[in-house]
Structure 1
Amino acid sequence: MTMALGATIHTFDVELADVDRGVYESPTLRMARHPSETDAFMVTRLLAYCLEYEEGIVFSEGVAATDEPAVLVRDLTGRTTAWIEVGAPDAERLHFGAKLADRAAVYTHRDPAKVAAAWAGKRIHHAEDIPLFSFDASFIDDVASALERRNTMTLSITERHMYLELNGSSFSTGIHEQRAG
């Protein structure tokens, strides 16, 4: 008999200063990392959460959630107000999320041109309003190499540039944006 591997819990004590949006918070985040989830995907999911941080934001079950994005925002009534995908969601899923929520966004650690090309000619609700954010692959890999089970993180965003300190290591990158449509 083989036993299925369970999720690994990672904890992040975050100091978030998003100067661009006027968000200054100190959340403690617990992320369950599914065995099939790569370090790069988890780092991108963490960054998406921080860059979208607002009241009502939550992680879904990640790669195990088939009917929810990696990150979502709900209002006090439970209605989904933001659908935040990570990686390379298919057009149908993005269309569904964009129709369900007031806004949608995609964060990727992959080549954004290839991610967007997969959506070409497909129906996506208000695709022109959906931002596709990407980070340099080397940045994501470097941050992933500094991950531990318990993490201390300081993240500052100013003029669409990110400054990150994770467990004593410092990283910096621009936040690249294009539109899904």
Structure 2
Amino acid sequence: MALKATIYKAQLQIADMDRHVYGDHNLTLACHPSETEERLMIRVLAFALNVPADDLRGRLEFTKGLSDVDEPDLWQLDLTGDVVHWIDLGQPDDRRLMKAHGRSERVSVYSFASSTDVWWRNLENKLTRTPKLAVWQIPAEQSQALAKLAARSMQLQISIQDGSVYVSTADASVEIHPVALKTPAE
């Protein structure tokens, strides 16, 4: 018998002063049996960092993720079904990123493992023709601290200012400093 996903509920209050995006979001997240709470919380972080100010070009949504290799962890689809923003977590290979780059207007990757530097050194030169790609490293100790905030029912306040992310619950808080490994071409 297959193991079932664990359901997490998160109420987010987002104040992104860098992008002038503010709002409350109620999320229901399915945590795949092979997914860690660290990865789950990186999904929440990626949502907060990329949620659009309005739904005019579609909503940012969680996908089947680990259950479907043809979908990213999050994406924003416009009303015609075209991919506006493809967001992957972890350390995807260059073929996956090139495919995503061809299918969407923007591609973002959030890597959070301590081996990110090795992965990126091996991949960086293969992705020179990907002007729509952004790659971010979440330092491993910060992503592990973020994982400790995970609970089946969460209320999170997320403030983003000057590139720093502050995630707070009633009992604890974590400061995260995403590191840009690659930014999209202007």
Normalising by structure 2, report the TM-score: 0.89
C-alpha change, 1:121 and 1:173, in structure 2 (3 Å) is closer
Identity of aligned residues (%): 28
Structure 1 vs Structure 2 CA RMSD: 1.8
Q: Contact between 1:69 and 1:84, CA under 8 Å: does it hold in 2?
A: yes
Q: CA deviation at 1:128?
A: 4.5
Q: CA deviation at 1:167?
A: 4.6
Question: What SS does the corresponding residue of 1:147 show, helix, strand or coil?
Answer: coil
Q: Which residue of 1 aligns with 2:8?
A: 10
Instruction: Give the Cα–Cα distance (whole angstroms) in 2 for the partners of residues 128 and 73 of structure 1.
Output: 18
Instruction: Give the Cα–Cα distance (whole angstroms) in 1 for the partners of residues 119 and 161 of structure 2.
Output: 26
Structure 2 unaligned regions, length at least 5:
none
Aligned partner letter, 2:110:
Y
Q: CA deviation at 1:117?
A: 2.4
Q: CA deviation at 1:113?
A: 1.8
Q: Which residue of 2 aligns with 1:49?
A: 47
Q: Name segments (4+ residues, structure 1) moved above 3 Å.
A: none
1:91 aligns with 2:94: yes
Aligned partner letter, 2:99:
F
Q: State the Cα deviation string for residues 66-108 of structure 1 (Å, max 9, x = none).
A: 1111010111111111111101111111100011001101011
Which stretch shows the higher mean deviation, 140-149 or 95-104?
140-149
Instruction: Give the Cα–Cα distance (whole angstroms) in 1 for the partners of residues 80 and 128 of structure 2.
Output: 24
Q: Contact between 1:147 and 1:166, CA under 8 Å: does it hold in 2?
A: no
Question: What SS does the corresponding residue of 2:174 show, helix, strand or coil?
Answer: strand
Q: Contact between 2:101 and 2:132, CA under 8 Å: does it hold in 1?
A: no
Q: Which residue of 2 aligns with 1:170?
A: 173
Question: What SS does the corresponding residue of 1:99 show, helix, strand or coil?
Answer: helix
Structure 1 unaligned regions, length at least 5:
none
Which stretch shows the higher mean deviation, 107-116 or 5-14?
107-116
Instruction: Give the Cα–Cα distance (whole angstroms) in 2 for the partners of residues 128 and 92 of structure 1.
Output: 15
Normalising by structure 1, report the TM-score: 0.91
Q: Which residue of 1 aligns with 2:78?
A: 75
Question: What SS does the corresponding residue of 1:93 show, helix, strand or coil?
Answer: helix
Aligned partner letter, 2:181:
Q
